[in-house]
Amino acid sequence: MQELGRTLILLGIALATAGVCVLLFARVGLPLGKLPGDIAYRGRNFSFFAPLGSSLLLSLVLSLLLYLLARLRR
């Protein structure tokens, strides 16, 4: 049970850190959610949003960051 508790605490810290990063990106003016490739459709009774461009950018940045961290640990 102790490992589950530690895992949940680390997950909570990671989510809080991600939330702070999103708030900082919004304050700096980084247009996440409004990049080319993000699909937004608004109908009368329906709206759909698929942040494909933003997802690809975040995936690329995180992959590069994790790659660099792995190289530094060797």
- Concatenated DSSP letters for 2-67? HHHHHHHHHHHHHHHHHHHHHHHHHHHT--TTSSTTEEEEE-SS-EEEEEHHHHHHHHHHHHHHHH
Cβ(32)–Cβ(18) below 8 Å:
no
Domain hosting 11: range is: 1-30
Whether residue 37 sits in one domain with residue 19: no
Whether residue 71 sits in one domain with residue 43: yes
Whether residue 50 sits in one domain with residue 24: no
Whether residue 65 sits in one domain with residue 36: yes
Whether residue 36 sits in one domain with residue 24: no
**How many distinct structural domains can be found in the chain?**
2
User: Could you read off the pLDDT of 30-74 as tens digits, one per residue?
Assistant: 777 888 889 999 999 999 999 999 889 889 988 998 899 889 888
